[in-house]
Structure 1
């Protein structure tokens, strides 16, 4: 089974897809589930839950901007309100959520301070393959960091458009929750076209000016 654990809907400031479209796209591509990790909100994930099926799981998540870079929370039930790195992690844990460092060494996206030894004690997973890391070394550095500090790896497409869904994630023979508990999965991924990052920047500006409001 294939899961993409980093996607964005229209509820992200730079997202485009309706949650229903995102779910339908993932199902069409043969995925068993996705995590919707919109920027600073779980609204897209909650909406997508309405379209979950017996054979397709939606994980409610959020990619939260903090003073130390972005942090992903998975399996959330409430909004994370803080923007302080430590407090965000505590809020995720208080919901029995999973803490992930997404694209932690991607300098092109201004990810903040690169994580160190002390940070490794605070997180559960490192995103060691992100399809939007256009320099191979960024994913390689994340993998090296995870290995050095004994952290588990995850993968995600970071999809903002339908064509990107499923480009990265994990494969497993187990139910997703069992796979997380046992670590019985493999990370896979291929890079997205740089074109999509450019389109995302345009979309973000368009929405900010009000032209893309709903």
Structure 2
């Protein structure tokens, strides 16, 4: 699955289109909801990508990379369909180096990971953490296939064996009541232009946020956790 830059950006706010009671109505004459500041802070998912809205107004994205790599419960790394023995993942002061043969040409360094943060799972495993992808033969594939070639601000999150690529600082947002302002080059390239997002507002329904755009389209995200 290869994503160009535009596709990687598009999923930042691309959720399932809904047309229910929350409305396919325009913004004119709509009910106004006075949501408190910070109502959108947290992690939201469209079941393909997760969007993280920070308290500082930052927008980050996490893409599931398990189609290429993930850890089994016994420490075996599945890499592009190949089983890499647990002994091939070397753990040194929080950093990870993974070697193995997935080309038939002998062992090579598949990943060099430098720990830069922690996860907050209730059942953390030894490899769990947030890592800078410092090198390895799989680095470029991860960036090309799951970050649209964007290598700045990209890290790998390992959480209970699951591997996700995190793209930090891809845009910014501001929330005032039920009004939402978003900006960023990636967002604009994905079609979230000032014209389309003019008057953008959202409605909270239980654990979902439904976004209403100027062109009449409606997109939905579910709160994670």
TM-score by length of 2: 0.24
Structure ID, larger Rg:
2
Question: Counting strand residues as a fraction of each chain, which structure ranks higher?
Answer: 2
Task: Between the two structures, name the one with larger relative contact order (CA 8 Å, sep ≥ 6).
Answer: 2
Question: Counting helix residues as a fraction of each chain, which structure ranks higher?
Answer: 1
TM-score by length of 1: 0.24
